[in-house]
Chains A and B, each alone.
Chain A
Amino acid sequence: MMRDTKTTPEALSALIDGELDGADAAFWAERLASDPALSGRWAAYHLIGEALRGELATPMRDLRASILARIDAEAPALAVVPLPRRPAANEPRLRWMATAAAVAVVATAGWAVWQAPREAGGEALPLRQAAADAAPQVQEEASVDERFYWVAYGNAHGANGPGSLRYARVMAQTRGTH
Chain B
Amino acid sequence: MPVARTLTVALCLAAVLAAASARAAEDLQRWVERALAPSAADYHGTVVLQIGDKMQTLRVTHLLADGKPLEWVEVLEGAPRETIRIGDEVRCFLPEDRVVLIDRAAGAAGLSYHPVGSVGRIESSYRLESLGMDRVAGREVFGVRFVPRDALRFGQDWWIDRESAVVLKRVVWEETPARALETQTFSDFHLGAATQTAVVRQKFSSRSEWRHVDLRGKSVGASETGWEFGALPSGFQLEGILQRRGPSGKTVTQWLIGDGLVTVSVFFEPWEGTETSEQVERFGATTVVRRQDPGALRTAMGEVPSATLQALLAAMTRKGGS
Contact = CB atoms under 8 A, between A and B. Distances in A.
A–B in direct contact per CB < 8 Å: yes
B271 interface: yes
B272 A102 contact: yes
A37 interface: no
Interface string A2-25: 000000000000000000001100
Contacts of A65: none
Nearest to B251: A26
Interface residues of A, number: 63
Interface string A103-136: 1111111110111101100000000000000000
Contact of A168 (B49, B283, B297): B49
Contacts of A156: 103-104, 106, 111, 217, 240, 242, 254, 256, 263, 265
Given A164-B47, A168-B60, A102 B114 contact: no
Interface stretch (B13-21, B92-100, B128-136, B198-206): B92-100
B81 A175 contact: yes
A152 B103 contact: yes
Interface string A123-165: 0000000000000000000001101110111011111111111
Given A110-B246, A147-B101, A158 B267 contact: no
A160 B101 CA distance: 18
A160 B303 contact: yes
Contact of B83 (A85, A98, A116, A171): A171
A173 B283 contact: yes
Contact of B254 (A111, A115, A152, A173): A152
A159 B264 contact: yes
A174 B265 CA distance: 17
A174 B81 contact: yes
Nearest to A163: B39
B51 interface: yes
A159 B303 contact: yes
A178 B94 contact: no
Interface string B274-305: 00010101011010101010000101011100
B145 interface: no
A99 B249 contact: no
B163 to A, nearest CB: 15
Contacts of B303: 159-160
Nearest to B48: A168
Contacts of A30: 245, 251
A158 B246 contact: no
A169 interface: yes
Contacts of B86: none
A-B pairs, 5 with minimum CB distance: A110-B249, A157-B263, A107-B248, A116-B97, A172-B56
